[in-house]
Structure 1
Amino acid sequence: MAKRALILRHVEYEGAAGYRAPIEAAGYALEWQAADSADFAGGVLDSADLLIVMGGPMGVYETGSHPWIVPEVAAIGRRMAAGLPTLGICLGSQMIAAALGARVYPGPAREVGFAPLHLTPAGAASPLAALAGTEVLHWHGDTFTLPEGAVRLASTEGYCNQAFAVGPRVLALQFHAEMGEDPRFDIWLEEGRDYVASAGQTADRLVEDHRRLGPPAVAAGRRMIADWLGGL
């Protein structure tokens, strides 16, 4: 019987994208759950063999507007405490950080566009080695303190915590190496028009960079995820 991978969505247009292929190749059957309709008090997150917590435009601290955030963070924490494999992407990485006791807060500036990562020595010895020298998509404005017990894997000029791991079973990625070939990028641009402008970017530049830099970013991201899954 295939293992189950649950993709927890905060907005409908963010999915596994380029990561889907290595997840399925590792023997997982994919399922989806919308965060705002999940029963986090139950075992919805514990029942999956792999959890992928996706991104979204909201902040972890916006609990008044999104009452499901508090129970989601608590459920992620219970899952990690049980030693179950958990992958977080962008908002998902911030949810993992919050579940581990870190503070999540607005960063110094919104970081939008393709840029390389600076790997730490631990990052260069991790699955993130696949991303060395590759420009990946960034689309975030929040950051977090490094959780206790976590190992920093990557940074950029503006954000010191771009990726971290807690043992072999928890991987948190602030960036989007999964995005580079997905046609839903057009929805990102439409939904985030003001966000893009506030970061000093233009849709035309992002479209061109997505066309030129996206495919190698996705290829590297797939190698990273395959390596991480192989080490579980």
Structure 2
Amino acid sequence: MSAFPDTIYAVQHLSFEDLGSLEDTCYSLGYRIRYFEAGADNLKKAFEYEGLTIILGGPIGVYETDDYPFLQEEINLLKVRLEKKLPTLGICLGAQLIAHALGAKVYSGHVKEIGWSRLSLTEHPNSLLAPLADIPVLHWHGDTFELPDEAVLLASSEHYPNQAFTIEKHVLALQFHIEVMSESLEKWLIGHTAELRQANINIPNLRADNLRYAPALEVQASHIFQQWFSQLQY
């Protein structure tokens, strides 16, 4: 793209699940950020945007359209966006929305995957996720998805085979949270306390792991995002 727009759009489904460390990376590259709040803002502009739109995580499922009607509009807009091959990054719920919009099944998984662990990376030359070979990442989801037909699988985990995929240059979908920052993860522990207790997660242990692993992930997340983002512009 010869004249890539100078603002990156981000769709939020929960106020404290923001771009995290990727926000600073975007700023360092000279880009501004504009957030859209799903369920409150009109998302049409975000999904019709010709620049990069990032779809962030949240605690609802893509199949809960009866309870959260805005999800269906979001899915419909996303289908059109993907058909146009506009640059799109999905994280957690965002990745599941992308998979669903491409016709893949999204469903409740057999176990809540919450906590830090290493990925099993598929073997691809110059894989985008190669910097994560020895870096634990934060998983925080109960749903999972089947791999869309046109997707290239990048990573799996102990519990779920489909953790990340790409489609050509324009789509990157990550079910894990590459964006988390150690300094803001306490908000997640507070905001998701009901889910954590229901899943019998040891909160002090998770807090300790956040502090132990998040700083290294922040560094590698920046490298991965810059590599993927740079190839969008050519």
Under TM normalisation by the shorter chain, which class is it? over 0.9
Give the match for residue 14 of structure 1: 17
C-alpha contact (below 8 Å) 1:110/1:199 kept by paired residues? yes
CA distance in 1, matches of 2:148, 2:57: 19
The code of the aligned residue for 2:230 comes to: G
The code of the aligned residue for 1:5 comes to: I
Number of residues of Structure 1 aligned to a counterpart in Structure 2: 229
CA distance in 1, matches of 2:41, 2:231: 29
Which residues in structure 2 correspond to 1:66-215 (within 5 Å)?
Answer: 66-122=68-124, 125-183=126-184, 185-215=185-215
Return the offset for 1:48: 4.8
Q: Please state whether the residue corresponding to 1:218 is helix, strand or coil.
A: helix
Deviations 1:129-162 (A, max 9, x none): 1111100111000001101100110000101110
> Deviation above 6 Å: which 4+ runs of structure 1?
none
C-alpha contact (below 8 Å) 2:108/2:143 kept by paired residues? yes
Range moving further from structure 2, 19-28 or 153-162: 19-28
The code of the aligned residue for 1:92 comes to: G
Deviations 1:157-212 (A, max 9, x none): 101110001111100000112113242x2221112223223334211011101111
Return the offset for 1:65: 1.2
Query: Given the alignment of the two structures, is residue 36 of structure 1 paired with residue 43 of structure 2, yes or no?
Result: no
CA distance in 1, matches of 2:20, 2:183: 6
Q: Please state whether the residue corresponding to 1:127 is helix, strand or coil.
A: coil
C-alpha contact (below 8 Å) 2:88/2:170 kept by paired residues? yes
Deviations 1:45-79 (A, max 9, x none): 21251101000000001111110101101111211
CA distance in 1, matches of 2:51, 2:183: 25
After TM superposition, the score normalised by the length of structure 2 is 0.93
Q: Please state whether the residue corresponding to 1:27 is helix, strand or coil.
A: coil
- The gaps in structure 2 that reach 5 residues or longer are none
CA distance in 2, matches of 1:19, 1:71: 26
After TM superposition, the score normalised by the length of structure 1 is 0.93
Q: Please state whether the residue corresponding to 1:165 is helix, strand or coil.
A: strand
Taking only the aligned residue pairs, the percentage that are identical comes to 38
Give the match for residue 48 of structure 2: 46
CA distance in 2, matches of 1:26, 1:229: 10
Q: Please state whether the residue corresponding to 2:190 is helix, strand or coil.
A: helix
Q: Please state whether the residue corresponding to 1:139 is helix, strand or coil.
A: strand
